[in-house]
Amino acid sequence: MVVEKFVINVEQAALKDLTRRLDATRWPDEIADAGWEFGTNLAYLKSLVAYWRDGYDWQKQQAALNRLPQYRLDLDGQGVHFVHVHGKGPAPLPLIITHGWPGSFVEIVKLIPLLTDPAAHGANAADSFDVVVPSLPGYGFSDRPLNRGVNPQRIAALWVRLMGALGYQRFGAQGGDWGSAVSSALGLDHAERIIGIHLNYIAGRFLLGGTLEGTPSDAIARAYQAKLRGWWDREGGYNHLQATKPQTLAYGLNDSPVGLAAWILEKFRAWSDCAGDPERAFSKDELLTNIMIYWITETISSSTRLYWEGRERPLRLSVGNSVKPPVAVALFPKEIPMPPRELAERGYNITRWTEMPVGGHFAAMEQPELLAGDLRGFFRSLRGR
């Protein structure tokens, strides 16, 4: 296996095509005083697209991303893109961080220097990490899977091989959203390789038998299921569509940059601690750079197929099938409904549970300092194992 350096280089023709498509947008109507109740707000999206068209500088963002050491590695036909930054400290601990949907490796960028060079950010150099941030298969600059079966368990096996190729036989794992599923699968299937796991999200389906249809027999699980059902009823349409008919959705999102932006932007607003205004949590440039990763690589279709794969082979945890390595959970207040600790402990060896004061689903982008601090604190006691 040969690790090859990688540089992002989007051709001008692709950028001109994007401008053409933005100019040709056929805007829909909207109910009066709709706000965001029906989905992405028309006035806000128009303002963001106007900035995308005339104010956003992709070349500047591309140059910033290219300052990160990026690579690609072929693992039996699956090309994986990743960022690999060595820590500045006496004994950096290897850590693989997995992003989710609708994020990308861009989601993790602000977190990296806080972990690799803690002394430069007011923390202890002894808490440094060697950080590896791969792009999930079918996301960004990783190859798009063309066959079935690339689910969180398969991705976890790829990550073990990736880390081994980089010289790390044992390592920590971190993730939210799909990164939580992959990190959990690492602890379930490859426990001997894992020092510890840090999660900022746990999906309820991991602990409720993979479905919301059955009724749990105990009060703790029933109460959580009722809360989760309410959330799915209000917010879960995207998941059902992506898990059942992702190809139908792909035709529109892969063809229309505005459609793609609307689909992704709605989630960044709904799942973040932004009080209804996306730009209280993210800058326009951050939102658009993440959207651009999907647009320029044409990976919205392959990214949503992960939902189909996860439905076909759900990750199910229980007391008899639990994640054995030490697990830390950082609970951000505006996160998608999370299981209570009493329920989560049925599937995880939880040794640390931190309730954060602010933040939401995109913790590495919203509150990188809080997330970094919790990561340092958790792994401090595990170093040297």
Active site residues: 177, 307, 361
CB atoms closer than 10 angstroms to residue 77: 9
Distance between CA atoms of residues 243 and 175, nearest Å? 21
- Classify 219 as helix, strand or coil: helix
Q: For residues 2 and 74, is the Cβ–Cβ distance under 8 A?
A: yes
The strands making up 93-98's β-sheet, listed across from edge to edge, are 3-6, 70-75, 78-85, 129-134, 93-98, 171-175, 194-199, 323-331, 348-355
CB burial of 277-309 (b: ≥16 within 10 Å; e: otherwise) equals ebeebbeebbbbbbbbbbbbbebbbbbbbbbbb
Q: Which residues face 322 on adjacent strands?
A: none
- Classify 186 as helix, strand or coil: helix
CA 363, 369, 375 angle in degrees (round to 5)?
80
Residue type, 59: Q
**The tokens of 175 are what?**
């993730």
Q: For residues 374 and 123, is the Cβ–Cβ distance under 8 A?
A: no
Distance between CA atoms of residues 182 and 189, nearest Å? 10
CA 197, 201, 202 angle in degrees (round to 5)?
85
What backbone torsions phi and psi does residue 122 show, to the nearest 5 degrees?
80, 10
**The tokens of 141 are what?**
């600059």
Distance between CA atoms of residues 21 and 15, nearest Å? 10
Distance between CA atoms of residues 137 and 141, nearest Å? 9
Q: For residues 371 and 200, is the Cβ–Cβ distance under 8 A?
A: yes
Q: Show the DSSP H helices in 24-84 as ranges.
A: 42-54, 58-66
